[in-house]
Structure 1
Amino acid sequence: MTPRSVNILLLMCLMSVSGVHCGPSVNYPFKRVCGLKGASVDLPCTYDYPWGHIYIRGEWYRERSGRVSSYNNPKYPDCSLKLNTLSDEDSDVYHFRFYTSLHPNWTASKPEIRLSVTDVQLQVDPTTATEGERVTLTCSTACALTENPTFTWFKNRQRIRNQQSSRDTKLHLSPVSSEDAGSYSCAVGGHENLPSSAMALSVRYAPRNTSASVSPSGNMTEGSSVNFTCSSDANPPVSNYTWYKSSGNETILRGTGPHLKLTLASGDGGVYHCQALNEMGSQNSTGVEVILVKGAESPISLPRLVCSLLLTSQYLLLTVMLVVKYYRAQGDGNDDKRENVVVEA
């Protein structure tokens, strides 16, 4: 700088010309900074002082809680501050100040930097939908983290397939189906490890995949017990199960509930089906047939068999004893006749 330039600069300082800094100064390129909760952020700052000054000390201050940290070894002219693992308490007004050998008073700049800490917010509209409707998910932050932030979407903690990070803050599910039900979250690009709180999407639909079963199956006889079971997939869950029996052109109500137990009587043969019902609709199962056969006798139980054998054996024993007694009686009669013949002779 030539002597003439120095004189001009001194003259401008004396005249307080706007834009000319003749002493120590602090500058913030951004007056407002947005930080993501849990992440780190830099508060950009530069400082300057005239030739001949010697930097003595500097420090960052918070408007609410006082000094943040000392800044004794700055990398001139950078005085930026890095904050890690941000929390809501870090939202505040910050400023850097310093003094030099020739300017012993604190030098700061106004306005200071205002830091706002935000988390990622997710909205689901509506949170409960009927199949075929449109559902919109919106990802947002309370302040702008970057000029053009991107967003990533997750379902049940897994990144949604075929869904690339984009600048679109909305995700549309149209038409929504039962497969879309689940827990959703979103994250700002570059901070996928800091997603929003999860929100559940419930999708309502009428009963489907309704089925009926019977145990035991096959030909049955009167007096036998059978158990019927009805199952169905529905949201909200099935509120009512109803059982019907069809025989020819006649359909008869047989009971309610997911389980039905019957002791078969004459006329209980036929095709049985169940109906599942919720507030969205109903569905009938396919039929299961119960074939009732006649004339089949129940097998003899072991106690009855033993009893029959005992009675038979007692009958045979009694018969043998009677036969033996009879023949003995016949034998005694013949002996008496022979004795009479001998005496007469």
Structure 2
Amino acid sequence: MPQRIKALSDSCVLIPCTFTIEERYEKYMVEPARGIWMTFRDIVFDSNRRYNDNTLKAELLGNVTNKNCTTIINHLKTSDTKRYFFRAEPPYFSFPQSVMLEVVVKRFHCSLDSPDRPVISPSSAVKEGAPTSLACTAPAPCPREPPALVWSDTLNGSVEIEQVEQQDGTKAVSSVLTFTASHLHHNKDITCTAQYPVGSETKSAEEVSTLHVLYPPKNTSVLINPSGEIHEGDHVTLSCSSNANPAVSRYTWFKVKGDNITEKSVEQNLTFTDINPSDSGLYYCEARNEHGAENSTAVQLNVACCM
């Protein structure tokens, strides 16, 4: 059984539990067999007692003869926060393994009974245009009242909900959000909120994940400085800018003259320290990273000849 389970006051909790015994004791595993839950000192549940006669308001769901001691505890109170041990009769054996049950409660109008935060996975970077899935998983200690999982933004995608069993046998709810990654999603925070119904109240816990999208250059453009009329001998700089993730790794400048295109530079800025009329023409830049490239719109550079 799990070493630790956290549950909400006034709710319930499922303790998944199985056991094994030595082969020589198998002959004693016959009906009627009873299950007992104990603390260090006291018996708090006996499956042979009536429900209301037990200190722990629980139901033994498993069959002890089949070595299944799965139990659900109802109407949890803070006083139920204890370490519990299981005993099977027969074979009249108290197992040394235990489960620590933590029941959290609200006091003084402060929310001290917040459930564990859900987990969002994966958090790795994704490539633009690729189908992408985010899974939000929250524990469901009380299977009768599982949490509702709500995304702050579905990103024009679809959501599927399923109940899952975790490695320690406890239950959880998973919400899988599937969408197509876009550069507009990069660095966007998305929140998954687990809402637990407890009586007439709802207790919530949330987790935030920041999306990381890899994409080729976007919005590539050219800026001419100075922007006004250019004269022979002026100092002129053409700057190329682009939005990309990862950042642009290579800029290339081209000059267009008729049907000829000439590569001029592989720097982000194309600089003329002493410009002359022969430098006039159409210029554009190419921005490139590992995911692709984009060309800017060509701009006309006109150099006026000195009088």
Could you state the TM-score of these two structures normalised by the residue count of structure 2?
0.56
1:93 matched to 2:87: no
Q: Which amino acid aligns with 2:176?
A: L
Instruction: Give the Å deviation of 1:147.
Output: 2.9
Give the deviation of 1:160 after TM superposition: 5.2
> Aligned pair in 2 of structure 1 residues 178, 209: CA closer, same or farther (>3 Å)?
same
Choose which of 269, 278, 284 in structure 2 pairs with 1:259.
269
Look up the match of 2:183: 178
User: Over residues 57-77 of structure 1, what are the superposed CA-to-partner deviations in whole Å (9 max), with x where a residue is unaligned?
Assistant: xxxx854xx89xxxxxxxx97
Task: Report the CA distance shift for 1:41/1:256 in structure 2 as closer, same or farther (over 3 A).
Answer: farther
Q: Deviations over 1:233-259 (max 9, x none)?
A: 112221111222222223222223333
Q: In 2, distance between residues paired with 1:211 and 1:245?
A: 15
After superposition, the Cα gap between the structure-2 partners of 1:167 and 1:254, relative to the gap in structure 1 and judged at 3 Å, is closer
Alignment partners' CA distance in 2, 1:165 and 1:245 = 49
Q: Pick from 236, 242, 246: which aligns with 1:232?
A: 242
Alpha-carbon distance in 2 for matches of 1:261, 1:267: 14
* Deviation at residue 278 of structure 1 after TM alignment: 0.5
**Equivalents in 1 of 2:218, 2:77: separation in Å?**
57
Once the two structures are TM-superposed, the CA of residue 272 in structure 1 deviates from its matched residue by 1.4
Matched residues in 2 for 1:162 and 1:244: separation? 39
1:186-208 per-position Cα deviation (integer Å, ceiling 9, x unaligned): 23223664224x33332221111
> Residue in 2 aligned with 1:292?
303
Gaps of 5+ in 1: 1-31, 45-60, 68-75, 96-109, 297-345
CA gap 1:293/1:216 in 2 versus in 1, 3 angstroms: same
The alpha-carbon deviation at position 149 of structure 1 amounts to 1.8
CA distance in 2, matches of 1:91, 1:272: 75
Work out which of the residue numbers 197, 202, 206 in structure 1 matches 2:212: 202
Question: For residue 35 of structure 1, what is the aligned residue in structure 2?
Answer: 6
- SS of equivalent residue, structure 2 residue 181: coil
Provide structure 2 residue ranges, at least 5 long, that are not aligned to the other structure: 14-37, 43-51, 57-75, 87-93, 103-114, 163-173, 197-201
Task: Give the match's secondary structure for 2:184.
Answer: helix
**Stretch moving more, 161-170 or 249-258:** 161-170
1:124 aligns with 2:121: yes
Higher strand fraction (1 or 2) = 2
Q: Residue 241 of structure 1 contacts residue 258 of structure 1 at CA under 8 Å; is this kept in 2?
A: yes
**CA pair 220-244 structure 1, distance change in 2 beyond 3 A:** same
Partner amino acid for 1:254?
A: K
Aligned length: 216
Q: How many angstroms does 1:232 deviate by? A: 1.1
Cα distance in structure 2, aligned partners of 1:249 and 1:166: 55
With CA pairs under 8 Å and 6+ residues apart, which has the higher RCO, 1 or 2? 2
In the alignment, is the contact (CA less than 8 A) between 1:136 and 1:173 conserved in 2?
yes
For residues 42 and 144 of structure 1, do their structure 2 counterparts lie closer, same or farther at Cα, with a shift above 3 Å needed? closer
The answer to which structure has the higher helix fraction is: 1
Question: TM-score, normalization: structure 1?
Answer: 0.50
Q: 1:280: how far off?
A: 0.6
Determine helix, strand or coil for the equivalent of 1:267: helix
Deviations 1:37-85 (A, max 9, x none): xx546679xxxxxxxxxxxxxxxx854xx89xxxxxxxx978566239x
Cα distance, 1:284 vs structure 2: 0.4
Partner of 2:259: 249
For 1:139 and 1:91, locate their aligned partners in 2 and report how far apart those are by CA, in whole Å.
29
Q: Which amino acid aligns with 2:77?
A: K
